[in-house]
Structure formats: structure tokens, C-alpha cells
Amino acid sequence: MIHDRSIWIGYEPRELDAYMVARYSIECHLTTNIPIRGVIMSDLAGRGLYTRPWHRTAGRMVDHISDAPMSTEFAISRFLTPKLALTGWALFMDCDMLVRADLVELFALADPSKAVMCVKHVHTPREKVKMDDQEQVLYARKNWSSVMLFNCSHPSNQKLTFDLINRVPGRDLHRFCWLDDGEIGELPPEWNYLVGYSHLDVEPKIVHFTSGIPSMAGQQAAHDRPFNSGIEYADEWNETLLECVR
């Protein structure tokens, strides 16, 4: 049994609803006390941990090193998770997720021989925009890094230094450039179900609104449907949002 565990949620100021739903849905199902914290870029920058240059233009953030847009503030800061957790197993999640199971079950899948574990999607979306008119960027192993179970004590994760995180293009980090392929473990697909893309024979345990949360108007275009109409798990997400603000 793993005793040293932590959960980290990417925080994006314009997606406060998403962060609240993700955190609340985790807490509703969690059967033991595991700390839940946010990965907040402004805090990390203030502490000198995140030093990558970037700018905002026309409502979009652009990372200078990658010469590419970032759809969220945690696009790259997520890779600081093992540096923040320090020990044990640390779970990082995007905020645009609805958790429908006890995350203790996910930690139980941890393989100590692996440095990172994730759902190994084959995800090549056709649309050019997502969320609130953010550019849909294609890169190797897309969405593998949206749910990552880090083995903070694994020797290979020592290669994930502050210098590496703040120096290399984001696309290299998202493909786990510091690891050999054999050090990347695989989680069952129900732990990162991509709304509109994934197809499962079992109930999803984490639902990922990768094209935009139900309250975000930009996801209408991504799904080519009227707002909230027929989008998988949108009603459940909205109900959860109402519960957590009561």
C-alpha cells in the first residue's frame, strides 16, 4: 500500500469552474485523506520555480521557448509536480476533468518500476480550435500528460530538473523526453476518458473535457453542437458544479 501520496490539479484563472468541479468531485469519492493542491503558475513564478518567458496576445498565451501557444497556464508548469511533491507518488490532473471514482484505486495501480504512468492515447483531433478559441496544437503523445502519476523517487525523474523544465520546448516535455519508453507505465483508458474522442466498454472513472468544459462557450464549435446539447457527461458536470457552490 502507498502511504505517501498527493494530488495536484492544474489551475487556470479563466477556468475556475473547472478547478472547483475537479477538486470537489475528487473529494466526493476519496475514501482516505490525500492532500489536494493546485499547480498555480503565478505562485511558481513568484517562487522562482517557473522562469520560462511568455507573453499574451489576442487572448492567447505564447511560450517563447516553444514558439507555440499555451491553452492554459499549466501547459508546462505541470512538469514541476514531482519537484513540488518531493516524495512518494504524485498525481497531476488537468482541471477540466470530472472524477467519478475513488482515486485511491488509481494510486493502487502504481508500478514502482515506472517513472511516470499515464493513459497512452492516440489522439489526433481534426479541429483547429478548442476551449474558448484556443489553438488546437498537435504534438507527439498528445494528452498523455493530462493525467500523470509521477513516481517522485524514481531515479530517472531526477533528470527532470528545474533547468530542463524551464529550457526545453514544451512538446519535448509532453513526450516525456527525460525518460526511456520502458519507464512510462500505462494506465487503463477509463482513467482519462476524452469526451468526444474516447470509446470504452466500461464506465469512465475520469471524464476529460479536453475541448472545453460545459460552461465554456468555445467547446460548442469543437463539438459542432449547440451549447451543452448532447455532449457526453455535461449534465453530470453541471450538477457537480451546482453542488460545489451551494
Number of H helices, E strands in the chain: 9, 14
pLDDT tens for 40-90 read 999 999 999 999 999 998 888 999 999 999 999 999 999 999 999 999 999
DSSP 128: S
pLDDT tens for 197-242 read 888 999 999 999 998 999 876 544 444 443 454 689 999 999 999 9
Q: Options 1.10.1740, 3.50.50, 3.90.550, 3.40.50; which CATH number does 5-245 get?
A: 3.90.550
Percent of the chain with pLDDT over 70: 86
What residues does each domain of the chain span? Answer: 5-245
Q: Which three cell numbers stand for residue 13?
A: 484563472
Q: Strand 184-186 and strand 116-118: pairing?
A: parallel
Residue 180 has a pLDDT of 96
Q: Which three cell numbers stand for residue 161?
A: 530538473
Helix (H, G, I), strand (E, B) or coil at 7: strand
- From the list 11, 14, 6, the residue with the least C-alpha distance to 22 is 11
